[in-house]
Structure 1
Amino acid sequence: MNVALWIIAGLLAVAFLGGGAVKLIRPKEKLVASGIRFAEDFSVGAVKAIGALEVLAAFGLILPAALDIAPVLVPLAAVGLVLLMIGAIIVHLRRREAYAIVVNLFLLASAALVAWGRFGPHSFSD
Structure 2
Amino acid sequence: MRLMERTAGRPGDSALFVMEKVTGRRALTVPMTHDALVGGIKSLAERVGLNPSSYAGHSLRRGGPTAAMRLDVNSIYIKMQGDWKSDCFERYCELDTEQKLILPGAMAEAAVAVGM
The TM-score, its normalising length taken from structure 2, stands at 0.32
**Structure with the higher fraction of residues in strand conformation:** 2
Which has the higher relative contact order, 1 or 2, with Cα contacts under 8 A spaced 6 or more apart? 1
Question: Based on CA coordinates, which of the two structures has the bigger radius of gyration?
Answer: 2
